[in-house]
Structure 1
């Protein structure tokens, strides 16, 4: 793999890169969040079509020419053949929405497929709030890559303005008399502290639509040597517990990471249960409990992380759900995961909860979703649990939030 320095450029063809490839941004931001984006610009270096800004609130461009998978590293899947002739450049940027500046970043990098790596860090910058990391541009009929590494004083909103895009006006603004060009909504809700809440009202008559809960985490930081592994216990002490005929498995550390997503739920009619990969308790989207988990990623190799879908059109049937994650295999501590959960409700700003605490416990209760008189309320929990004697972390979390489930030992198939 080629290492590029700031200012270095090269033709994709000379680098052995075709028209479809991944661009990954691995950003070391200890204790704070950095948003990544890709701007699809025209020949005048302007965002003439807002649909070609790909970021946390718009994860794909038309035709899937660029698709973003959030996480650490963040991954852009690029298909140059799917871009219209009007798009002459893709610019990859990183921006901070908070008190920190780019100088606080650690060693970071951008990689383009298996062809090149562009390393950079906070020592390259001062008090800028954003960085134009790199660009892929078309010149003389050929696509080229340029390592930029240029600091930018404003944040994401300032970058949008710099590239000629238009930020969406607040919802209370009067509607224009004639259809207007699409505008980019930069709104996002990050629940910073334990106990922070946000409430959402329905935007449609039926309900909240298809609610997407995504868990993603840092895979690159997990190759470090694991903590010493204590001798495994047998019997009840060496297993997790699980509920209502599902299964739970022993905690292993074979080198790969298996960070699992699940939820403990209570329906409006009083029924309670668990949705998780252990015991194949995948749930059901169209019927009770109106929550369904995607296929389990047992290695962490999937850049899409783990995903839970909640039927928001049946939200009246749901009283509450605690979204949780547990370390089934690998990763000796939570600080190594740099995990983040995003709760995306259609036509609403995405809600982000970072797993920014904990130690070597195996379980984290991340967020509570509750039905508060028809409103959807999300509360940041980030409470951590570890098995105590014969009492599993699952059961301790159950006791903490008063679900009252029945438990038995088992394993993950």
Structure 2
């Protein structure tokens, strides 16, 4: 692999890189919220078409030439240069901090193009900047080239947007991302307007309500849990564990063999008619999208090969059949240490701003009640819970969480099939 330093440039063909490849951005950012984006610029280095800003609110360009897979500590762009229209001559990859910290707080970071190029950088290269222009792919004389930039930027994502000639769309009363227009480049002389809105629930009890679009349902609601799967942070002092905890630890032994932390995503639900249940990998209770409970957990990754976290879906077209859904996670493998997970749950409702809940509390408990999704007169309300539970005697953390939130289910120990 070719190792690049700041300012170094090279032709992709000379680096052994074709037209389709992945761009991986790895960030060591414990306790920080860092947004990674790609700007598709025209010949004047301007974002003249807002559909070519690929970021958390717009995960792909119209024809799929650039696609973003958000994976917590690492984010991957799938790039196919042959699919880009002639109006796009440069792809710029950036990272911006959302919060009080600055770039100097980052640890070791890197951008890689497949197995062809690696550009390492770190927070020590910067001062109090809130963003960094990491690297760029640009077309010159009919040939695509790579440049390692590593340039700090004082403003955040909004300032970067302005720097590249775009402007931020004014948020509505409930922030919402604009729906993607029909494919096909349509540059304009006026600045591209991009919705940077996202909702971060900072404190326990913080809420946000979303209303249905006129004449539409909520669509497919996507709940993603991501975390630092290879965390090596020092664990807190060991806690006393009971039978249920040992069962979980035993089932996970040797499962991935990575020495990191494996979180499992789950959901307690209550339907409109009062029936209650559980969706989780333990006991193979995967749920169903088209039939009750209209909630489904994506197959659990048991190999460690998938780094996109865990995913759960709610059928928003049948949201009238759901009274509430409690989103939770428990540590299935590794020493319980929530501080080391740097976990985050993102709740994405189509045509709405994504809602982010960080797992920024807790200690050595095994279970975290993350967020509560409720049907409030047809509106979808999300509340940050951040409540942590540990087995007590013969009572499992699952049951203690159930009691706390009043679901009233009957419990017995289980394992993944």
| TM-score (norm. length: structure 2) | 0.88
Moved more, 314-323 or 1-10: 1-10
Q: What residue number does 2:218 align with?
A: 208
Compute the displacement of 1:380 (Å). 1.0
Q: Structure 2 vs 1, CA of residues 236 and 69 (structure 1 numbering), >3 Å: closer, same or farther?
A: closer
2:181: which partner in 1? none
Query: Is 1:196 matched with 2:206?
Result: yes
CA contact 1:26–1:73 (8 Å) conserved in 2: yes
Matched, 1:38 2:38: yes
Distance 1:227 1:142, change over 3 A: farther
C-alpha distance in 2 between matches for 1:236 and 1:97: 38
How many Å separate the matches in 2 of 1:204 and 1:309?
22
Task: Return the alpha-carbon distance in structure 2 between the equivalents of residues 118 and 335 of structure 1.
Answer: 29
Contact 1:250 1:411 in 2 (8 A): yes
Question: What's the CA shift for 1:331?
Answer: 5.4
C-alpha distance in 2, partners of 1:79/1:22?
9
Instruction: Map 1:141-156 to 2 at 5 A.
Output: 141-156=142-157
Instruction: Give the corresponding residue for 1:238.
Output: 246
Matched, 1:401 2:405: yes
Preserved contact between residue 171 and residue 195 of structure 2 (Cα < 8 Å): no
The Cα shift of 1:272 comes to 0.4
Structure 2 residue 195 is matched with structure 1 residue 185: yes
Is the 8 Å Cα contact of residues 324 and 366 (structure 1) preserved in structure 2? yes
- Report SS of the residue matched to 2:193: coil
> What pairs up with 1:307-326 in 2 under 5 angstroms?
307-326=311-330
| Aligned-pair CA distance for 1:93 | 0.4
**Displacement of 1:237:** 6.3
Contact 2:236 2:364 in 1 (8 A): no
- For structure 1, which segment, 183-192 or 117-126, has the greater mean C-alpha deviation from structure 2 after superposition? 117-126
Indicate the larger mover: 371-380 or 51-60: 371-380
Question: In the superposition, relative to structure 1, how do residues 220 and 249 fare at CA in structure 2: closer, same or farther (>3 Å)?
Answer: closer
Tell me how far 1:313 sits from its aligned partner: 2.0
- Rate the CA distance shift 1:16–1:362 in 2: closer, same or farther, 3 A: farther
1:126 positional shift: 1.9
Unpaired runs of at least 5, structure 1:
173-179, 241-247
Alpha-carbon distance between aligned partners in 1 of 2:252 and 2:368, rounded to the nearest angstrom:
15
Q: Secondary structure at the match of 2:301?
A: coil
- CA separation of 1:374 and 1:407: change in aligned 2, threshold 3 A: same
Number of residues paired by the alignment? 398
Question: Root-mean-square deviation (CA), in Å?
Answer: 2.6
> Within 5 Å, which residues of 2 pair with 1:257-406?
257-330=261-334, 332-406=336-410
- 1:23-42 Cα deviation digits (max 9, x unpaired): 12222223221111000111
1:98 aligned partner? 99
2:179 aligned residue: none
- The two structures have a TM-score, normalised by structure 1, of 0.89
Aligned to 2:110: 109
- For residue 229 of structure 1, report the CA deviation from its aligned partner: 9.4
Deviation by residue 1:321-370 (Cα, 9 ceiling, x = unmatched): 11011221235422232111110111211001111122232221111111
Residue in 2 that maps onto 1:4: 4
Shift of 1:316: 1.7
Q: State how far apart, in whole Å, the 2-side matches of 1:30 and 1:21 are.
A: 28
C-alpha distance in 2 between matches for 1:114 and 1:59: 23
Secondary structure of the corresponding residue to residue 62 of structure 1? coil
Moved more, 101-110 or 72-81: 101-110
Change (3 A) 1:402 1:250: farther
Rate the CA distance shift 1:115–1:210 in 2: closer, same or farther, 3 A. same
Structure 2 residue runs of 5 or longer lacking an equivalent are: 174-185
Q: Verify: 1:58 aligned to 2:58, yes or no.
A: yes
Q: Could you tell me how far apart the structure 2 residues matched to 1:228 and 1:117 are?
A: 38
1:114-146, CA deviations, whole angstroms, 9 ceiling, x for partnerless residues? 222222222222222111011111222222111
